[in-house]
């Protein structure tokens, strides 16, 4: 859709998308637009939505599907990050203890060189791009996020795994000082380290993203700073946060949620409205900030890009 550029004060509330609002934010605030469109809920939302000033350079996503972005506030205030708490509302404040300075990522397994990467050095090696993706949690809520990062395929090419590597496995850091739930021992909500993995062809798919930020700036702690995975056609739990280790394997890794309950959470975890979770339907989802539910799409709307990966597989069995 072509949008004719207008001065921000000429835009009526129902024409404004969060994306434009984000882009116009500075001029909007400078002009005191809030006083021009008094009582406008979107202006109030804007005033509250404290998007940090963009600190990353990246190529913008053209958003050809015209996805409506969730606000920065929504994306950063309702999180699953069990290392801190199981309360989605409390992650935001509790994740303060996460210290991302001198962040290291250990590389091992079936790879040319087993090395330890420094996050700041790694960041300099890749051109960043924005990827506006749908994101669907297995629990039935969803959002649209403008992630910033580089493809997992590019990272894998840089790391040079051996041809015998068929799977990739990720771990989140274990540090009992930073992550209160890891300190609870047997009372922890899940076992740590948090582990996730992909088949190599899934990992090499162009959609698989290593994200280092969102809305133009570094990854907020609650969303998995400084570096996380985003696999948009799979349920959110596959998108592991705060990665500290990457291993290349010849066997399927056992992931955290599979280990906790393999009947409910499989290795593949592809978004599929036709296969219900044993305890609830997966046919619909609630977008954060919306009242009515919407239909969940096959592979979360990325069928064209990824359906070929699962040709001949019974998706009611390989959940």
Ligand X SMILES: Nc1nc2c(c(=O)[nH]1)N[C@H]1C(S)=C(S)[C@@H](COP(=O)(O)O)O[C@H]1N2
Give the footprint of ligand X on this chain (CB under 6 A): 79-83, 137, 172, 194, 223-224, 236-237, 239-242
Contacts by 45-49 with C-beta closer than 8 Å and gap 24+? 45/71, 45/73, 46/21, 48/73, 49/73
- Say how far apart CA 8 and CA 164 lie, in whole Å: 56
CB 244 within 8 A of CB 171: yes
Using CB atoms within 10 Å of the CB of residue 142, give its burial: 0 to 12 exposed, 13 to 18 middle, 19+ buried: buried
Choice between 33 and 231, CB closer to ligand X: 231
Contacts by 314-319 with C-beta closer than 8 Å and gap 24+? 315/268, 315/270, 315/272, 315/274, 315/275, 316/275, 318/266, 318/267, 318/268, 319/265, 319/266, 319/268, 319/269, 319/272, 319/275
CB 253 within 8 A of CB 109: no
- Say how far apart CA 207 and CA 197 lie, in whole Å: 15
Q: Least separation, in Å, of the C-beta of 224 and ligand X?
A: 6
Q: Is 82 in the site for Mo ion (CB under 5 A)?
A: no
Q: Which residues, other chains included, contact 177 with Cβ-Cβ below 8 Å and sequence gap of 6+?
A: 97, 183
Choice between 218 and 223, CB closer to ligand X: 223
Strands (E), the chain: 104-109, 116-118, 129-136, 141-151, 167-172, 195-199, 209-214, 217-218, 228-230, 243-249, 284-287, 294-295
Q: Least separation, in Å, of the C-beta of 265 and ligand X?
A: 9
Choice between 75 and 165, CB closer to ligand X: 75
- The piece of 79-87, 210-218, 275-283, 284-292 that touches Mo ion (CB under 5 A) is 79-87
Among 58, 78, 150, 237, binds Mo ion (CB under 5 A): 237
What are φ and ψ of residue 12, in 5° steps? -85, 160
Q: Which residues, other chains included, contact 158 with Cβ-Cβ below 8 Å and sequence gap of 6+?
A: 125, 126
Q: Is 256 in the site for Mo ion (CB under 5 A)?
A: no
Choice between 9 and 280, CB closer to Mo ion: 280
Q: Least separation, in Å, of the C-beta of 235 and ligand X?
A: 7
Q: Is 300 in the site for Mo ion (CB under 5 A)?
A: no
Choice between 240 and 246, CB closer to ligand X: 240
Residue 8 interacts, among ligand X, Mo ion, none and using kind-specific CB cut-offs from 5 to 8 Å, with none
Q: Is 105 in the site for Mo ion (CB under 5 A)?
A: no
Q: Least separation, in Å, of the C-beta of 31 and ligand X?
A: 32
- The piece of 14-22, 129-137, 239-247, 268-276 that touches Mo ion (CB under 5 A) is 129-137
Choice between 242 and 258, CB closer to ligand X: 242
Choice between 166 and 290, CB closer to Mo ion: 290
Q: Is 266 in the site for Mo ion (CB under 5 A)?
A: no
Q: Least separation, in Å, of the C-beta of 139 and Mo ion?
A: 6
Q: Residue 69: count other Cβ atoms within 10 Å of its Cβ.
A: 21
- The piece of 1-9, 104-112, 137-145, 291-299 that touches Mo ion (CB under 5 A) is 137-145
The CB-nearest residue to ligand X is: 236
Choice between 161 and 285, CB closer to ligand X: 285
Q: Is 236 in the site for Mo ion (CB under 5 A)?
A: yes
Interface ranges with Mo ion (CB under 5 A): 80, 137, 236-237
């Amino acid at each position: 859709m072509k949008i004719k550029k207008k001065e921000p004060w000429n835009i009526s509330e129902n024409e404004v998308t969060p994306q434009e609002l984000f882009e116009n934010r500075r001029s909007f605030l400078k002009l005191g637009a809030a006083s021009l469109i008094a009582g406008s809920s979107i202006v109030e939302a804007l005033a509250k939505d404290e998007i940090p000033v963009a600190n990353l350079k990246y190529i913008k996503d053209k958003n050809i599907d015209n996805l409506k972005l969730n606000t920065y506030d929504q994306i950063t205030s309702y999180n699953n990050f069990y290392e801190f708490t199981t309360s989605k509302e409390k992650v935001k404040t509790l994740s303060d203890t996460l210290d991302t300075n001198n962040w290291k990522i250990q590389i091992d397994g079936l790879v040319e060189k087993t090395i330890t990467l420094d996050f700041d050095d790694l960041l300099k090696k890749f051109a960043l791009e924005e990827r506006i993706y749908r994101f669907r949690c297995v629990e039935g809520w969803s959002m649209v996020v403008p992630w910033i990062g580089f493809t997992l395929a590019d990272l894998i090419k840089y790391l040079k795994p051996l041809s015998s590597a068929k799977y990739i496995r990720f771990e989140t850091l274990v540090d009992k000082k930073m992550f209160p739930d890891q300190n609870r021992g047997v009372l922890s909500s899940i076992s740590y380290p948090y582990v996730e993995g992909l088949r190599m062809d899934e990992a090499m798919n162009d959609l698989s993203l290593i994200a280092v930020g969102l809305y133009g700036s570094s990854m907020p702690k609650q969303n998995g700073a400084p570096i996380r995975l985003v696999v948009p056609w799979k349920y959110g739990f596959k998108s592991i946060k705060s990665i500290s280790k990457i291993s290349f394997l010849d066997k399927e890794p056992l992931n955290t949620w599979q280990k906790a309950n393999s009947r409910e959470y499989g290795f593949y975890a592809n978004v599929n409205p036709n296969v219900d979770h044993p305890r609830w339907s997966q046919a619909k989802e609630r977008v954060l900030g919306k009242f009515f539910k919407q239909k969940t799409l096959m592979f979360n709307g990325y069928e064209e890009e990824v359906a070929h990966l699962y040709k001949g597989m019974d998706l009611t069995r390989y959940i």
